[in-house]
Chains A and B, each alone.
Chain A
Amino acid sequence: MLIGGSPVTVPYANKMAESQKEISISDFFAKNRQILGFDNPSKAMLVSVKEAVDNSLDACEEANILPDIFVKISRTDNKDRYLITVRDNGPGIVKNQIPNVFGRLLYGSRFHAIRQSRGQQGIGISSVVLYSQLTTGKTTTVISKIGEDYPCHRMEIHINTKTNRPQIINSEVILWEPHHGTEFSCEIEGRYQKNKKQSVQEYLRSTAIVNPHVQIVFEDPDGEVLRFDRVVDKLPEPANESKPHPHGIELGVLKNMLQYTEARKLSSFLTNEFTRISPRGARDIISQAGLTEKTNPKKLKLENVQTLYDVMLKMKFMAPPTDCLSPIGDRLIRKGLRKEIDSKFAYTVTRDPKVFLGTPFQVEAGIVYGGEIPPGDQVQILRFGNRVPLLYQQGGCAMTHAIERINWRPYGLEQRGGKGIPNGPAVILVHLASTNVPFTSESKEAVADVDEILDEIVRALMDCGRRVKSHINKKNKLKKVSEKYTLIKEILPEIARKSSSIVGRPQIQLDPVITKIMNVHVIDSGIIHREVGDQKQTEVTVKVQNYTQKERKFKLLVKVPDTLIQGVYPENFNMKDGAIEWEVGPISPARSVHLGFTLLGLDQDEYDEVEVYYSRLPGEVIGADPL
C-alpha cells in the first residue's frame, strides 16, 4: 500500500500503539452505562435499589439469617438527585473487604460457583457506586458490623476508574446499634416514580411475593412507609454448589478450567472438575479426542482443547444433578401472592427440574384470579429469574412468549384471536430457577427463548389455566344454585301465597314443585380453621342435598392433604389414595346428609378449597366433580 506516495519510514502500527492502552472496565462502563441498565434516570433508580437489595438478600441467606431489609429514598437539594439507603441485618463485611465488595467491579464470592444465586443477575453493587460517582461526584458510604462485640466501621468509598481499584476517602469506627448488618447509601441522579409498573415500590412488592421469608420496610421520598411483611419464618433451602456439566460450558470456560485446575492428569481433571463424568467416561472422551490420560491439563494445545470440547459436547452424559436449584415452592408462592394481591383464587405449581444444554432449571408458575383485580385489563405478568423480579423487556421474554402461545379462552380469560397476552381479572407469575438463567442480553431483563424452558413454562401455565377454569365453573354453578335457592325459598312460596289469596283457596304443599325446579344434587362444603391451645384444627364439612325426585345412593370422595385426620363421620368410610371415600345414601328426595372430618396442623392457606368427587350419581351435581 502506498501512503501519500512518500516512503514509509516508521511502521504505522507503532504510532497506533502509542494511543492504544488498556481501557479499564470502569472506564468502559462509564461510557456504556446502558449495558448495566442505567439507561435513563428512572431505570437507574430502580437498578440501584435492586442491586443493593439483591446483595443484602444473598448475604443474609448465605449466613442463614432471616432478612430484614430497610430501604429509604430521599430527595436532595437538587431535584434530579436522590439519596438511596439500604440497610440489612446480614452478617456484615470485614473491614478489609468493604472497599473490594463495593468499589471493585466484577469482585465477588459467587463469580465462579455453579449455583443458583441472585448475584448472577447484575454486574453488582459496585456498578451502582460507579454510577453514583459519575452522576453526582459523591462518595458512597458503607456502614458494616460483623458481630455484637466487634467495632462498626463507616467508610466513604470512591472508585479509581483508571485502575478499577477502590479508594477509601474516609474511614472511621462509629457506634451502631444493630448487632450485625450493613448499610449502604449513595446519591444518584435519578427519577422517582410512584405507582408505576416499573417502580421501586413494584420491585419490592414483587420481591416480597417470591421471597416470603423476607421482611421489607420501604420509606419513599414523601416519607410514606410501606411494609412488606414476612409470611414464613423459614429460610429457603440453601442451594448446593455444583460442578459444571460437560454440556453446560463454553470453550473459553474449558480453557480457563484447564489452566487453573489442580489435577495433574487429564483423566482426573475430567472426573474431578465436572459432574457426571465417570472414570470410564473420561477414558472414552480422551481416547475419542486422540489424547492420553496422563497428559498434563495445563499443557494441552489449543487445537486439542477444541477437539476435547467437541467430543464432550457430542457424548451422552447423565443429566446434571438438580439439587443445586432452590425453587420457592408452590405453597410459599401462593402465600406470597395471596398476601400482596387481593384475589378470590390462587393456584401455583412447581414443576420438576429439567435440563437445557447441561444446565439444570426449574419452572414455577402461579395465577391469581378475581377479587380486586380489574376485570377488563390485560393480565399482569410477574416474571422472576432466581427470585429476582424482571421488570423490563416484558415483550422480549420467553415467559411472555409462553403466555402468548397459550390459547387462554378455554380457560375463561379473554384473548383476541386466541393469541397474545390475555385479558381478565388475573395475575400470572412465572419463576425460572437455574444455575445459569439464559438472558437475552447483558442487562439481564428477559429470558431467551430456549425450547426446553418455553415448553416447561407452557405446561406449568396450562396447569394453572385448567385450575382457573374449574374455579370459574364452580363459581358459576354456585351462582346458579344460589339463584335457585332464592327461587325456591323466597319467590315460589310468595307465588303460592299470592295466587291462593287471589283465588281464595287453601295454601299449597310445594315440595314436589321444588324438587322439579331444582332437579339437582347440591354438595356444599365448608372449612373452619381454629386453634385449640397450640394445635391448629381445620374442620371440614360436606352437606349433600338431594333435590331430585328419586332416592339416591352413590360414592363420594373428598381429597385430603398429607396430615393427621380425625373425627371422620359417618364412620363407614375408607381411606384411599389421599382421599376419604364414603358410600352415601340412600337419600330420599328433598333430604340431605352431612359428612365431615378434622385436619390437624395446617395453616389457613394450606387448605382453602375442599375437593369433592362423586361417582354413580346421575343428573346434575353442583359443588363436586365426577370421578
Chain B
Amino acid sequence: MSALSAGLLATDVLAQEASTPGSPGVNITIFGLFVAVTIVIVLRASKFNKTATDYYAAGRSFTGRQNGVAIAGDYLSAASFLGITGAIALAGYDGFLYSIGFLVAWLVALLLVAELLRNTGKFTMADVLSFRMRQRPVRTAAAISTLTVSFFYLLAQMAGAGGLVSLLLGVTSDIGQSVTIAVVGVLMIVYVLVGGMKGTTWVQIIKAVLLISGAAVMTVWVLSKYGFNLSNVLGAAVDNSPEVGEALLAPGVLYGGSTLTQIDFISLSLALVLGTAGLPHVLMRFYTVPSSKEARRSVVWAISLIGLFYLFSLVLGFGAAAIVGPDAIEAAPGGQNSAALLLAFELGGTLLLGFISAVAFATILAVVAGLTITASASFAHDVYANVIKRGKFAADGEVRVARITALTIGAVSIVGGILAKDQNIAFLVALAFAVAASANLPTILFTLLWKRFNTRGSVFSIYGGLLTAVTLIVFSPVVSGSPSSMLQGVDFSWFPLNNPGLVSIPLAFFLGWLGTVTSKEYNAEKWAELEVRSLTGAGAEKAVVH
C-alpha cells in the first residue's frame, strides 16, 4: 500500500483538537425527531407480527416498489454516503471505483439470483443453499457464513457511527464515543425486537427517501455554485487540492503506487462486483415480496435509486474537495468519513448539517437493524430450528430465539465497532463484500444453475471461501503491520493485499467444482423441484393474508 493511501485510511490523530461544526443541540433534536417518528411506525408495524413469516419476511406483503426503496435504504449504508464521498474528495477517480462496482454488482443479482431465489427459499439464504442438499451440513455452513458476513458489515456501520458522533456532538473522548455507539446499538435492538422485518423495512424506506432527497438537494446546490457544469466542479476540486492536483481526475491516487497496489485494486474490483448478490441481508429482502415478478421490480427500483445516488455522490465528493478542501477534511474528527457532513455545513450551515447528520445516523441505524434481523433469523431459523431442534420446537420458539440472538449480535457489534472506528467505512464494507463473494456467491450460483452440484461441493465452497477470505484478512495489512492497521504495535501480516477477493473468490469456485466431482451424490428429484420452482414460481411461498 502506498504511503498516500495509508494516510487516507488512517485517522488523523491530531484532529482530536478540532472544533465541532454546527450545533450539537440542533443535531440531536433532528435525530431525536427521526427516532420518535420511526419508533411510532415500528410499534404500529409490530401489531402484525404473529408468525415467523411476519417476523422474518414481513408476511411477504411489501410491493416491489416499496421493497426496492427499502433495498436502496439497506444498501446505501454509511459506506456509500460517508465513505464514498470521502474517498472521492481525497482520491478523486479511485474513489469513484467503489460507486461503479457497487452499482454494476446489481446486475448479477438481477439476472442470476433475485427471482430464482425468491421462488425457491422461505426466510434465509440457507433455505436455498440447502434445498437439494443434505440439510444439516449445508445449512450449518450457510448460517456460519451469514453470521460472518453480517458481522463484517456491522463492524463497518458501527465504525461509521463512532466517527459521525465524534464530529457532530464534539465527543472526542474514547469513552464518550463508545457510549454513543452503545446508544445506537440499543436503539437498533429495539427496532428489531419490536418491529421485526416489517418495522425494519419501514425504517429503511423512510431513511432511503430522506437520504436520496438530502443528497439531491446538496448535489443541485453544489452544481449551482459552478454554473451546472461538472467540469467546473472537477476543476475547482483540482485547484483546491494542492497535494494531489490534476491526479484527482486520473486513476492512481490510491492504487497507482506499485504493482502490488494495482493488484489490490483488481482484487477490490472483483469483490465489489461479485459481493452484492452474496450478501445475506440483501438476499433476505427478496422474501418480503409476494412473487418473483415483484422481486424483479424491487431490483429495478433499487438499481435506479442506487445509480442515481452514486451519480450524486460523484458531485458531492468532488464538491467537498472544491468547497471544503482536503486539508480541512483530513483535519476534522472522523477524517475522510466526515467529508459529506462538512460539505453540508459549508453549503447550508447548522440546519443542513443537522439534517444531513440525522440522515447519516438514521442510515447507520437502519442498516444495522437490517443486518441484525438477518443474522438473528439465520441463527434462529437455520441453526436452532433446523439443525439443533430438527424442526421440532414450540410454535413461538423460533421467533423467541431470534430475538435473543438479536440482543447478542447487538452487543458484539458494539464492541467491534469501537475497535474499527478509525477505518474508512467503504473500505471495511468492501471486506464484507469479499467474504460474501467468496463464501456465498459460488454456492448460490452453482446450486441454482448447475445440475450436478451437490452437498460436498457446497460445503467445500462455503467453508473454503469463508476460511480463505477471513484468514487472508486477518493476516493482511488491514489488521496489523501498517500505520493504518486496526491493531498497532504488533505485526503478524504476511498477505500483502488489503482485499482478499482475487485469491479467495476463484478458489471458492474451484472448491465448489472439486467437491462436486469427487462425490457421487446427486438428487434428481430435488433438482427437478428446485429448477422448476425457481423458473416457474410453482409451489413458491405465498403472501400471508391477515
Partners in one complex: no
Interface of B with A (CB < 8 Å)? none
Interface of A with B (CB < 8 Å)? none
